[in-house]
Amino acid sequence: MDKNNKQMLLGLGFTGAYGANAKAWKSEGVTGHIYPDIEADIRYAQLAEKGKFQFLFIGDFPGAIPNDNSEVPSMTLEPIITATAILQRTKNIGIAATVHTQWNVPYTVARQFKGIDLMSGGRIAWNAVTGSSPKVAQLFGVNLMDRQSRYESHYEFVEAVQQFWATWGEDALKADRETGVFADYRQVKPVYISGKYTQANGALPIPPSSQGQPVIFHSGGSPASIAFAGRYANAMIGEVWTIEQGIETRKALRQAAIDAGRNPDEIKFIAGLMPVIADSKREAIDRHATFMDEKVVQQRVYHIGMVLGLRLTPADLDRPIAPELLNSVEIDSYSDPRIENVLKVAHEGWTLRDIIYHSVIDYHPATLGDAKETADHLTTWFEAGAADGFWILPDAYETDLHRFVNEVVPILQERGIFHKEYEGETLRKNLDVPYQYGVDERLR
């Protein structure tokens, strides 16, 4: 694709019932408080589709219970069930659903995902992660493996799933009334998998979908994660706070694809953004602040102090950090990657409280302000090569997702860096990644 008309990808982080913020159930516009409410999930997915988002990303940390009784548990309904319900009521948007490999079996995963792929006309992706939480492992009655074994078994698992996906030959289905042949079963070839961690024999009798087989996503960022994604995935959902970090991660991912024998354009790096969109920065800050109680603000005072290497206490909350203190801050290779964002906002002269409300030490970079501010962030990162696309984590769908779709998307389209229409009917087509059936033969 010509660099000048390269388009960014947009995904919606579907982490919480009402938005990315665990307190979003209190947001304006939320009514009824039915929880969990698949109808609401469908409505927000349809809104993302109206905004031409290429995909929803459904992460999974099963069993997580908040410590704070004012918060909603995230990712409550099982991702495959959620994805199936949403895909029945949408036409173009794809879904990346997370399923762990450590406590599942390849045949079940292969069967569920290929079934949804067929049912949705080729719009599902499997976000294949190992699972790295000992608490989650306990839910399934297993012990967490060490990282090396986790990834060794992950490779075997994903290859086994892809082998199952290709057991039904691409031309096996005949349904020929004249000859009376329904299927050429000689083209249905069982697999015999005998790995260190995975054993399975047999076939999965499901024909190809219009994108061949589900897309593989991965979420993470460690070297092991990047090596896995470079080998098997078409998109990696990441967590980076600066443009430089984005450029480095994207480069490492592309190199991992090359090392595996693939074309690096087939793997997309997706960075996160938490946008709060209002008519002015003040209004955005004030709205975000309604989701943060005083206890959290006070904890973050110490956290920001640690990031900057300064002694800050709640007594400092309602004044700016003195310029001479800011000028004494040193950045080195051990600094928290969020330090630059903290310093940038602090140098603008905001009080410590407002610095905290800027979300400077959150999971992802945040933009608080009008639609142009968010569009500028996305444009700058994209044009710098820090990401191929973004997963958007709006505080509350009722406010920020509506404004993102109605105000940010048109700016990006106007700038020629985001599509106006879906390129095709399958997720592969919309991600601009090739058709695939079975394990990629180029893998070294």
Ligand X SMILES: Cc1cc2nc3c(=O)[nH]c(=O)nc-3n(C[C@H](O)[C@H](O)[C@H](O)COP(=O)(O)O)c2cc1C
Site membership for ligand X, residue 131 (CB under 6 A)? yes
Among 96, 109, 125, 129, binds ligand X (CB under 6 A): 129
| Paired sense of beta strands 235-237 and 215-219, if any | parallel
DSSP 227-240: HHHHHH-SEEE---
Among 41, 49, 60, 400, binds ligand X (CB under 6 A): 60
Site membership for ligand X, residue 112 (CB under 6 A)? no
The H-or-E segment that residue 183 falls in is strand 181-183
Give the relative orientation of helices 38-50 and 79-88 as an angle to the nearest 10 degrees. 60
Q: Which is nearer to ligand X, 14 or 397 (CB)?
A: 14
Q: Which is nearer to ligand X, 229 or 409 (CB)?
A: 229
> How far apart are CB 218 and ligand X at their closest, in Å?
7
Q: Which is nearer to ligand X, 130 or 399 (CB)?
A: 130
CA 88 to chain centre: 21
The span from the CA of 381 to the CA of 367, in Å, is: 13
Rg (the chain; Cα; Å): 23
Q: Which is nearer to ligand X, 149 or 406 (CB)?
A: 149
> How far apart are CB 131 and ligand X at their closest, in Å?
5
Instruction: Tell me which amino acid residue 310 is.
Output: L
Site membership for ligand X, residue 398 (CB under 6 A)? no
> How far apart are CB 217 and ligand X at their closest, in Å?
10
Stretch that binds ligand X, among 55-63, 106-114, 181-189, 369-377 (CB under 6 A): 55-63
> How far apart are CB 72 and ligand X at their closest, in Å?
16
Identify the sign of the CA torsion 51, 52, 54, 60: positive
CA 16 to chain centre: 13
Among 7, 27, 101, 130, binds ligand X (CB under 6 A): 130
Please list the residues that pair with 109 across neighbouring strands. Answer: none
Q: Which is nearer to ligand X, 91 or 135 (CB)?
A: 135
Identify the sign of the CA torsion 136, 85, 233, 248: negative
Which residues 331-360 are close enough to bind ligand X by CB under 6 A?
Answer: none
Question: Which of 69, 59, 130 lies closest to 96, judged by CA?
Answer: 59
Identify the sign of the CA torsion 432, 435, 437, 440: negative
Is 259 annotated in some ligand binding site?
no
Site membership for ligand X, residue 365 (CB under 6 A)? no
Q: Which is nearer to ligand X, 274 or 371 (CB)?
A: 274
Which residue of this chain has its Cβ atom nearest to ligand X in the complex? 59
Q: Which is nearer to ligand X, 236 or 312 (CB)?
A: 236
Which residues 195-254 are close enough to bind ligand X by CB under 6 A?
Answer: 219-222, 224-225, 237-239
Stretch that binds ligand X, among 56-64, 182-190, 255-263, 317-325 (CB under 6 A): 56-64
Tell the burial category of 78 from Cβ atoms under 10 Å away from its Cβ (0-12, 13-18, 19+).
middle
Question: Which of 35, 1, 31 lies closest to 17, judged by CA?
Answer: 35
Site membership for ligand X, residue 132 (CB under 6 A)? yes
Question: Which of 214, 215, 189, 212 lies closest to 202, judged by CA?
Answer: 189
What's the Cα-to-Cα distance from 68 to each of 22, 37, 48, 360, rounded to whole Å?
10, 21, 29, 21
Cβ–Cβ < 8 Å for 415, 248: no
Is 374 annotated in some ligand binding site?
no
Stretch that binds ligand X, among 82-90, 130-138, 197-205, 411-419 (CB under 6 A): 130-138
Among 16, 59, 208, 369, binds ligand X (CB under 6 A): 59
The span from the CA of 24 to the CA of 269, in Å, is: 28
Q: Which is nearer to ligand X, 136 or 193 (CB)?
A: 136
Among 61, 103, 197, 422, binds ligand X (CB under 6 A): 61
The footprint of ligand X (CB under 6 A) covers 59-61, 98, 100, 129-132, 147, 219-222, 224-225, 237-239
Residue numbers belonging to the annotated binding site for FMN: 60, 98, 151, 222
